[in-house]
Structure 1
Amino acid sequence: MYSKKIIALFLFLCFTVVGQQKITIDEIYNGTFRAQGMDELQSLKNTNQYTVLNADRQSRSMQIDLYDFATLKKVATLIDTKSHKDLSNGIDSYTFDAAEKMILLACNTNQIFRHSFTADYYLYDIASKKLKKLFDFQVQEPTFSPDGKKIAYAKENNLYVYDLDSNKSTPITTDGKKNSIINGITDWVYEEEFAFVKAFDWSADSKKVAYIRFDESQVPEFSMSMFGKDLYPKMQTFKYPKAGEKNALVSLHIYDVNSNGVKNINLGNYNDFYIARMKWTNDANTLSAQVVNRHQNNLDLLFIDGNSGSAKVVLNEKDKAYVDVTDNLTFLKDNSFIWTSEKDGFNHIYLYDKNGKLKNQLTKGKWEVTNYYGLDEKTNTVFYQSVENGSINRDVYRIGLDGKNKVRLSQYTGTNAATFSPNFQYYINKFSSAAQPTTYTLNDAKFGKQVQVIENNESLASKLKSYDLPTKEFFVLKTAKGNELNAWMIKPKDFDPSKKYPVFMYQYSGPGSQQVNNEWNGTDDYWFMMLSQQGFIVACVDGRGTGFKGADFKKVTQLQLGKYEVEDQIDAAKVIGNYAFVDKARIGIFGWSYGGFMSSNCILKGNDVFKMAIAVAPVTNWRFYDSVYTERYMQTPQENASGYDDNSPINHVDKLKGKFLLIHGSGDDNVHVQNSMQMMEALIQANKQFDSQIYPDNNHGIYGGKTRIQLYTKMTNFIKENL
């Protein structure tokens, strides 16, 4: 017999153990904390419905399910992979034709770079339920013509048009060649820095295909050894223009489907330029293109006549630093258009007539529009997302086309994002905050009233109760120089203000970025909470140069990346070091990519402030990085040598005092391992001790198999041993 006291003590101990359940790195990276979402959510155009790609784990099948916006009820399963043996590997993504009677299914995707991939494509007829594989080879970016009769696609650097009636492909181009000529698909640097892959577009009448051609024959090549498991490594060679080097020569062309003729657009007024965006307007004969000069401080929006090929500038933007390319260009029925710009110092929405004359600035204020969702032309109402309610938050708003009657639709403070129904009566709101897992709700678009919960991740919230997670505290940190910076801090759950804690700082700091934002945990947040369970305070500060606080705050770093951002991290560490509960002799810093560039600089330039640093895949010298990104902020090394050299960590290795861990993937096509190799050599020649880890054949993300678990275990051990 046990006494009641012993039973009570036993229960108390059990509860204590359960109540303080420790996060493990395995759990973080095996999906234990994964939130439920709405995969491949697409709002239809013709009916008030939406589709979601669902997976059934038991039957190992996937379905594209159709739902009604007003009731959230499932109307139909459009396709189920278990009915089609060809789809046994599942569906990766899907697109509809304009009539929404056919679906293109992408399967067996093979990634090329960050956004680009080839895949097997299947055409599915919804009414007849017939599925057919389009080609016996993989292609890129197949796109329905607006009339649904043809599909344009890219294969091995050439463009083709496939006719659905005759099942025949006709080549648009024939001169495509690897590492030389690319038609209709962007080159490496466009894909990475202008963030698009498909460089072709159908005209509204399905009679023409406009495309960009890249001549990269003069662009210097970069080669990487891919070690694999064979006796000899393979070489991967691709064109990569580094800062100040030759870019691909781009040209714009219009293909006539009926005559098979190609018209070359005369852009002779421009020299050493980028075509950063291209799309047909609602006028079937007018093509738009955003042409940017190499410095990226002058942007022309061109309207091009599809018959004559003549181009005229309808809008020009200049900036003393750089002009951001916009994805929000939207043409209305009369070819007037919506445009977003930060020309008044903050990103806002503008309405222009079809000739490029400004009709109205719809939004104004010392805050940024972060997304444009669309225009309800029946009520002349524009829907958008902004940071008006604080730069760390996102809210959904509506406003009249006349700039009046603005309404905040969001009900809760945090990060809100919307997917609107075709008639703009409803929207699906995706909401989360640092304290609330992601929820999906149906809301009415007039006042934002919540109609119904779709997914609230209750099971995840319930699972997390046993971990008793610490809270992420947001605050504004003021440096000794008077700079006010957004910050967050995670303290141990059993925080004792009379103790002195070590602090581990995390940052990214790149131009226009944001790490201090009020949304639900990413995988790194669980790692930071795990570190807090082991007695560390984790902090993050968004210094000058980061985004969503206006152009002046963002562009202060122009021509000298790594100067003010590093100052701000060092100054912030000094402020935090003076908190009564912080051991100022035990402050570390970590970052990845731009953040690795920063953490390297901090351990060197702030060698009396930081005890240790971890840099993953860092740029160590801006001369090694690509032209489009680097020159946007730095111009060329030929024009701004000191800007490049003064703040590259490779030139400050003699200052190393603390513990430094340098990590890189050898197959990183983005920030080449050359950065870390030359940094290592510089450290060796400065006779400095440091730690390093190379991940064979891994790209910039460093993942796959057990890689992330091994990487984060290594970093955790390094922090525990050196902080």
Structure 2
Amino acid sequence: MNNITRALFIFLLTTISVVAQQKITLEQIWSGAFRTQGMDELHAMKNTNQYTVLDIDWNAGTAQIDLYDFATLNKVSTLIDSKNHVELRGIDSYTFSSDEKKILIATNSEYIFRHSFTADYFIYDISAKTLSKVGDSKIQEPTFSADNSKIAYGYENNLYVYNVATKKTTQITNDGKKNAIINGITDWVYEEEFAFVRAYDWNATGDKIAFIRFDETEVPEFTMEYYNQGLYPAPYTFKYPKAGENNSKVSLHIYDVKANTNKKVNLSDFNAYYIPRIKWTNDAQTLSVRLMNRHQNNLDLVFVDATNGKTEGILNEKDDAYIDVTDNLTFLNDNSFIWTSEKDGYNHIYHYNKKGKLINQVTKGNWEVTAYYGFDDKTGAVFYQSVENGSINRDVYSISIKGKKKTRLTPQTGTNEATFSPNFDYFINSFSSSTTPDTYTLHSAKDGKLVKEIVDNKRLAEGLKVFNLPTKEFMVITTPKGHELNAWMIKPTDFDPNKKYPVFMYQYSGPGSQQVNNDWNGYDDYWFMMLAQQGYIVACVDGRGTGFKGAAFKKVTYKELGKYEVEDQIDAAKVIGGYNYVDESRIGIFGWSYGGFMSSNCILKGNDVFKMAIAVAPVTNWRFYDSVYTERYMQAPQENASGYDENSPINHVKKLKGSYLLVHGSADDNVHLQNTMLMVEALVQANKQFDWAIYPDKNHGIYGGATRLQLYTKMTNFIKEKL
């Protein structure tokens, strides 16, 4: 945080203290008065024992990349300051060349969807202090080759290679066309549900580029209207495969930089309906590719010989339900690899040789590995994050690759996340809990010993004291059916056990998700505390289908999304309603996206339990949602019609008794406004009264300007009036 930003932050807190406002306001929440101080764009260097952070001056609109030493935490230098370069309107993100002598800087970014964006990119030569632009227009996902001589990038559905020395650009694909063919950049559904955008990868010597080609020709189109474009609304049309509809036809290609040739890889020996990941191994001519069937319950790891195109199946995993795709694949020096899998019922780390033969299961137990950090080839240590210390917590561990000498490196209970130095001597730990705001500290990777504090948020914690905020009480709720569910509850600080309180429940409930976790407050948490200050109890329950308690707990909802999760929310509400201090006639529920789907179902299927519900951007019928996500958990509607129809709230509108608020953004490319519009029509035809709000040109996040403030004011007023 720069000095000007820090001064503004201190001023905000000082103002709060002087005025001594005991009650939280929505204006404070959404103005950022409670925002924590952090380490933006923290990158560990690979060639030196150093790291960089992005220091942004929001008032001046400038940014600088600062270099620090891991061992001492001393600032080594400022690598670049945007105020010294008129071409840079700030720094949005950055990556280094492999020799870390050049930086690729993004500025003027324009988002396309949730993860994808175009930007103006510049190459900054650190020693020469020169800046040069890549391409004439805004481009996508540029990366350096391994030899640092070239940069590949996407532009208007084609791939290009830019020569850094000659500044010459070569177009390496030519058939790219909007809503038809995409080369090297993912389509909408891959971006959203397989969580990656750059669908190409350089090999270790910089002479090959592997990429995925998407043929969207047969994918149905979806059109949204934008209303702020002028006298007439402007349509925006893109390819969106709904459940059971055609997906992009994907193919794998390898471009030879020296020969300027493009070859398609024959994957006909495998079920290659989806290609959710590609990654070069440490052997420069061996590409790894993950392939999946449409049901996403059969995964192949395949090696491709780039010299002749031959393929070899290395590993196959099957599951009775589905397999989650992760980025946890690391190749070691001998091309053996580290991989995570749920095959024993919990997500754990495995070590395979280069032929796919299991060498060792590295971690074991009735708990989940939640992040893989890396392997130290000097000591043979594997570093990872897990929930071994309770499913609501996160800790950092080391263990030998043979599965011995496990060491917990983070002593504080809460949420710990690590960034390791390149030599694995140190790690920067980000820690928070429900009672401690974010702190950043330096630790020894050998034993976790604290070396030095870097950043804390004591000033924020001190400034919050005037609000006398309530705390989250973590608990386990056992339902009448015997299911043990993680939960938290926020009570008013002046809680009186002899009074009867209304309860406002919050949840998300989607497969593998978690809302009951021990970390610091988000924006919603301050809202919940504000409601507690006004006399409400706020509760959150993670029902079956949520994550980090094993595959069986998570996958019980397979082919029945909205059945068991809804049962659990209704049953949990009944348990809470039975507490002496709860008014069981005044229980409400709220959720966004999947949570909106759930809150809608709850007030319909649980109409004798819930008095009110708020649903923001909900799926109201899984037939309207995308193919990859929906079919992963439900199969196709043609295969599982009853699973779709019996658990979609749009088919239960006649059961509505309580008060229902329905909210959606008109430009939601993810959960389409269609969900709300058809839900509204169903409610109208059932002669049900309800409240609803549409936010023009807002996407799935419904934000921008005063939007969040207005929305949360609306929801707060609805709660006060109806609950």
| TM-score, with length taken from structure 1 | 0.97
The residue correspondences of 1:445-460 to structure 2 (distance < 5 A) are 445-460=445-460
Partner AA of 2:65 in structure 1: I
Corresponding residue for 2:568? 568
Distance 2:420 2:187 in 1: 33
CA contact (8 A) 1:18 1:466 kept: no
1:41 aligns with 2:15: no
CA contact (8 A) 2:271 2:292 kept: no
1:31 aligns with 2:1: no
The structural deviation recorded for 1:18 is 6.6
Partner AA of 1:478 in structure 2: T
Distance 1:672 1:58 in 2: 36
1:229–1:179 CA distance, 2 compared to 1 (3 A): closer
Partner AA of 1:601 in structure 2: N
CA contact (8 A) 2:559 2:634 kept: yes
Secondary structure of the residue aligned to 1:134 is: strand
Distance 2:60 2:343 in 1: 54
Distance 1:276 1:113 in 2: 18
CA contact (8 A) 2:415 2:432 kept: yes
Corresponding residue for 1:237? 237
Secondary structure of the residue aligned to 2:677 is: helix
Distance 2:211 2:116 in 1: 17
- Structure 1 residues 447-472: Cα deviation after superposition (integer angstroms, max 9, x where no partner): 11111110111111111111111000
Distance 1:500 1:394 in 2: 35
The residue correspondences of 1:399-410 to structure 2 (distance < 5 A) are 399-410=399-410
Corresponding residue for 2:70? 69
1:679–1:147 CA distance, 2 compared to 1 (3 A): same
1:489 aligns with 2:486: no
Secondary structure of the residue aligned to 2:528 is: helix
The structural deviation recorded for 1:86 is 1.4
Partner AA of 2:274 in structure 1: Y
CA contact (8 A) 2:21 2:466 kept: yes
CA contact (8 A) 1:501 1:537 kept: yes
Corresponding residue for 1:649? 649
Corresponding residue for 1:171? 171
Corresponding residue for 2:427? 427
CA contact (8 A) 2:271 2:291 kept: no
CA contact (8 A) 1:302 1:311 kept: yes
The structural deviation recorded for 1:229 is 4.5
Partner AA of 2:646 in structure 1: D
Corresponding residue for 1:470? 470
The structural deviation recorded for 1:492 is 0.5
The residue correspondences of 1:627-706 to structure 2 (distance < 5 A) are 627-706=627-706
Corresponding residue for 1:279? 279
Corresponding residue for 2:593? 593
Corresponding residue for 1:188? 188
Distance 1:229 1:147 in 2: 45
Partner AA of 1:358 in structure 2: L
Corresponding residue for 1:154? 154
Greater shift after overlay, 675-684 or 259-268? 259-268
Distance 1:664 1:421 in 2: 44
Corresponding residue for 1:369? 369
CA contact (8 A) 1:670 1:700 kept: yes
The gaps in structure 1 that reach 5 residues or longer are 1-14
The residue correspondences of 1:110-149 to structure 2 (distance < 5 A) are 110-149=110-149
The structural deviation recorded for 1:62 is 1.4
CA contact (8 A) 2:62 2:91 kept: no
Distance 2:230 2:63 in 1: 36
The structural deviation recorded for 1:189 is 0.1
1:57–1:681 CA distance, 2 compared to 1 (3 A): closer
Corresponding residue for 1:718? 718
Secondary structure of the residue aligned to 1:683 is: helix
The residue correspondences of 1:545-624 to structure 2 (distance < 5 A) are 545-624=545-624
CA contact (8 A) 1:341 1:348 kept: yes
Corresponding residue for 1:342? 342
Partner AA of 1:684 in structure 2: V
Distance 1:702 1:312 in 2: 46
Corresponding residue for 2:525? 525
Partner AA of 1:86 in structure 2: E
Distance 2:179 2:417 in 1: 39
Secondary structure of the residue aligned to 1:462 is: helix
- Structure 1 residues 626-683: Cα deviation after superposition (integer angstroms, max 9, x where no partner): 0000000000000000000000000000000000000000100000000000000000
Secondary structure of the residue aligned to 2:211 is: strand
Corresponding residue for 1:80? 81
1:383 aligns with 2:383: yes
Distance 1:36 1:390 in 2: 27
The residue correspondences of 1:272-351 to structure 2 (distance < 5 A) are 273-351=273-351
- Structure 1 residues 597-630: Cα deviation after superposition (integer angstroms, max 9, x where no partner): 0000000000000000000000000000000000
- Structure 1 residues 35-68: Cα deviation after superposition (integer angstroms, max 9, x where no partner): 0010000000000000000124575431100000
The structural deviation recorded for 1:381 is 0.3
CA contact (8 A) 1:18 1:467 kept: no
- Structure 1 residues 287-340: Cα deviation after superposition (integer angstroms, max 9, x where no partner): 000101000000000000101111111000000000111211000011000000
1:213 aligns with 2:198: no
CA contact (8 A) 1:176 1:183 kept: yes
TM-align CA RMSD: 1.2
1:90 aligns with 2:90: yes
Partner AA of 2:36 in structure 1: A
CA contact (8 A) 1:66 1:77 kept: yes
The residue correspondences of 1:41-60 to structure 2 (distance < 5 A) are 41-56=42-57, 60=61
The structural deviation recorded for 1:269 is 3.0
Distance 1:673 1:86 in 2: 39
CA contact (8 A) 2:17 2:463 kept: no
- Structure 1 residues 377-431: Cα deviation after superposition (integer angstroms, max 9, x where no partner): 0000000000000000000000001100000001100000000001111000000
Corresponding residue for 1:249? 249
1:382–1:538 CA distance, 2 compared to 1 (3 A): same
CA contact (8 A) 1:163 1:169 kept: yes
Partner AA of 1:292 in structure 2: M
The structural deviation recorded for 1:706 is 0.3
- Structure 1 residues 486-532: Cα deviation after superposition (integer angstroms, max 9, x where no partner): 00000001111000000000000000000000000010000000000
CA contact (8 A) 1:19 1:468 kept: no
Distance 1:458 1:438 in 2: 9
CA contact (8 A) 1:160 1:170 kept: yes
Partner AA of 2:605 in structure 1: K
Partner AA of 1:325 in structure 2: V
Corresponding residue for 2:12? none
Identity of aligned residues (%): 72
Distance 2:61 2:303 in 1: 49
- Structure 1 residues 149-188: Cα deviation after superposition (integer angstroms, max 9, x where no partner): 0000000000011011111111110000000000000000
Partner AA of 2:351 in structure 1: L
CA contact (8 A) 1:388 1:395 kept: yes
Distance 2:577 2:589 in 1: 13
Distance 1:276 1:416 in 2: 28
Secondary structure of the residue aligned to 2:654 is: helix
| TM-score, with length taken from structure 2 | 0.97
CA contact (8 A) 1:211 1:253 kept: yes
Secondary structure of the residue aligned to 1:719 is: helix
The structural deviation recorded for 1:271 is 5.3
Distance 1:146 1:269 in 2: 31
Distance 2:325 2:719 in 1: 40
The residue correspondences of 1:435-446 to structure 2 (distance < 5 A) are 435-446=435-446
Corresponding residue for 1:6? none
Structure 1 stretches of 4+ with a deviation exceeding 4 A read 15-20, 57-60
Secondary structure of the residue aligned to 2:468 is: coil
